[in-house]
Each structure stands twice: as C-alpha cells, then as structure tokens.
Amino acid sequence: MSLSDKQQAFVNEYVRNGHNATQAYKTAYPNSKGEWDKLGPRLRVKEGIKQAIAEIEAVQAVKQEHDREIAIALLLADHKHLAKAAKAGNIPAIQARTAIVRELDTISGLNKHILIDETEQSRPLTDTDRAELKRLALIATNLRASG
C-alpha cells in the first residue's frame, strides 16, 4: 500500500520522536483541529502505517547493529594495541585499557575477565606507581580541605 505524503510524514515523525502518535499526528497534519490524541493512535494502527513503521525500524536496527560491531572491533584493536605498554606498567595505558573494557562491557556484554588476564590484575606496584598514587592522594587531601 502506498502512503500519502502526510501519512509518510506521520510515520517518519512517529519513528523519530520515539513513538508518540499524538505528536506525530500534529506534525504531519498541522491544519487539523484538535483530537490529535485520538487521531494519532487511530492512524498508527492502520496496516499500511504499521508496515511502514516496521520497515523503517528494521533498517535502523541493521544500521545500529553494524555500528555496534564496528565500535567493538575498534575498541578491541585499541585494547590489543595497549597491551604491551600496560603490561610494562604504563599507567595511562592501563587506565585506557580499563576504560576500553568498561565500554566493551557496556555495548557488548563481553565478560571483562576475558580481556584482563590475572597477571595484569595482580601486578605489583612499581616505584613510579607509588609516586603517582601519593601525588593523587595529596591532590585529593587538598581538595577535601579546601571544599
């Protein structure tokens, strides 16, 4: 079924605004007089409208999954690239890898333990690490005292 321009505008607005049929109706039919709260939902359940919405959302889902896969691949590449520096005790590299693991966990559900091995988690502090921790503790103490 072919949709009219106004029906297509309704579908586009409905998908764009997060499924608010009333607002979509107001946008698509700006000259209509009231009862948007009834007319929008009524239009939403028409077969051609439902099908058009489903088609747009299917395309969006494919695009989102593709973007998600690209993001995961890039994050995994960065995580691997930072491994040597992190194992050598480079604090910014360790922090970056930790942030990457959190992001991966958020967008993919990957188990964090797959990405961080036991030796990395239990690495003893170096003198540089201790100095950095003392510096950060001093900053935190000063912030608490001044706040």
What is the per-residue DSSP string for 7-57?
A: HHHHHHHHHHTTS-HHHHHHHH-TT--S-HHHHHHHHHTSHHHHHHHHHHH
Please list the pLDDT of the chain residue by residue as tens digits (147 residues): 699 999 999 999 999 999 999 999 999 999 988 888 899 999 999 999 999 999 999 999 888 888 888 888 888 889 888 988 888 888 998 899 888 888 888 887 655 555 555 455 556 677 887 777 777 777 777 676 765
